Amino acid sequence: MARKPRKPAIDFATYFAVRLLVCLIQALPMTVGLRIAEFFGWVAYKVDRRHREVAADNIRHAFPEIASNPGRVDRLVRAMYRHFALMVVETVWMPRKLHVRSWRRYASMADGVRAISPFYNSRPYLMLTAHFGNWEFVGWLVGLFGFKIYAIARVLDHPLLERYVKRFRQGTGQTLIAKKDDFDRLTRVLRAGGQVGTLGDQDAGPRGLFVNFFGRPASTHKAVALMAIEFDAILTVAGSPRVAEPMFFSMECEDVIDPRDYADRPDAVRAITERYTAALERLIRRHPEQYFWLHRRWKSQPARKEKKPTAV
């Protein structure tokens, strides 16, 4: 299907508005910025009814113990909108606030050492996270420590914003790899013993591998487990939830998976996929308001097997 031709004037106006907003946020005191973020989070909650209902439905399924309590479900949905509004502001602040000498004011690495250790290993390394906490913070902090990491990311349709966001995200040395069009580059990086960061909580469609996620089958990409096995890559499951305000995160490593432990198992791909999905779930359960419940994670479901007609 051919893409609609873009309108340069509208693209530039959008780009200018985004750059102006970023400059404004970066110039504001943190306390003021947080209040503004809370306001926009509240507005988004009020206006975005369709996604609000998707989030509420996901939460009811994920936490059946509160499903019959609409007030608790609604409070969690509100908290999620607030979190992501704060995340946008905090991400905009990172180039101004987060530096080699200042990172301790914004991050705790007490548990994150396990996620950093594989960078010193000669084997390839896959760092897996989810749309949870501030996932942009993970890549920024790792690059700040001087580690070379490649992050798999979707290319934006807007060309000016794509260049700006790419330059922004690569500010501390991480390199972006296009999610759909750069597989050869990805394999070269891993074959050379490189480090790659990726997200592992996206719907993989009807052909994905169905594993349980919050008690329901969720279509999950097999690529992470396949790459770990093929390239003998260490796989960690990590996240960076906000644990204090303003802008203080904890780098948490939930699991370290070595594909060599599954070398003799015919179900290695499924076993690794189940294990890292369970680790992501544990992270999210500790901070449920910081997960992207707006995403239709359970959109695809296993095909129902048709019952064979009984012989008469």
**Residue 56 in this model has a pLDDT that exceeds 60:** yes
Residue 306 within any structural domain of the chain = no
Q: How confident is the model at residue 307 (pLDDT cuts 50, 70, 90)?
A: low
User: What's the confidence (pLDDT) of residue 165?
Assistant: 87
Domain tally for the chain? Answer: 1
**Residue 41 in this model has a pLDDT that exceeds 90:** yes
Write out the DSSP string of 133-174. S-HHHHHHHHHHTT---EEEEPPPSSHHHHHHHHHHHTTTS-
| Better-scored residue on pLDDT, 307 or 271 | 271
User: What's the confidence (pLDDT) of residue 306?
Assistant: 60
- pLDDT digit string, tens, across residues 68-100: 999 999 999 999 999 999 999 999 999 888 888
User: What's the confidence (pLDDT) of residue 246?
Assistant: 82
**Residue 311 in this model has a pLDDT that exceeds 60:** no
AA letter at 297: R
Residue 308 within any structural domain of the chain = no
Residue 5 within any structural domain of the chain = no
Residue 128 within any structural domain of the chain = yes
Residue 155 within any structural domain of the chain = yes
Residue 25 within any structural domain of the chain = yes
User: What's the confidence (pLDDT) of residue 5?
Assistant: 78
User: What's the confidence (pLDDT) of residue 309?
Assistant: 61
Q: Widest CA span of the chain, in angstroms?
A: 79
User: What is the average pLDDT across 29-50?
Assistant: 93
Residues of the chain above pLDDT 70, percent? 96
User: What's the confidence (pLDDT) of residue 168?
Assistant: 83
Which residue range forms the structural domain that includes residue 249?
Answer: 10-290
Alpha-helical (H) ranges within 102-245 are: 113-116, 135-144, 159-169, 183-191, 223-230
Residue 304 within any structural domain of the chain = no
Which of 27-36, 114-123, 286-295 is predicted most confidently?
Answer: 286-295
Q: How confident is the model at residue 260 (pLDDT cuts 50, 70, 90)?
A: very high
Joined together, the tokens standing for residue 185 give 């580059």
Report CA-CA distances (Å) from 307 to 198, 207, 217, 273, 301.
39, 21, 21, 29, 18
Residue 300 within any structural domain of the chain = no
Q: 134's torsion region: left (phi>0), alpha (psi -120 to 50) or beta?
A: beta
- pLDDT digit string, tens, across residues 161-220: 989 888 888 887 788 888 776 788 899 999 999 999 999 999 999 999 999 999 999 999
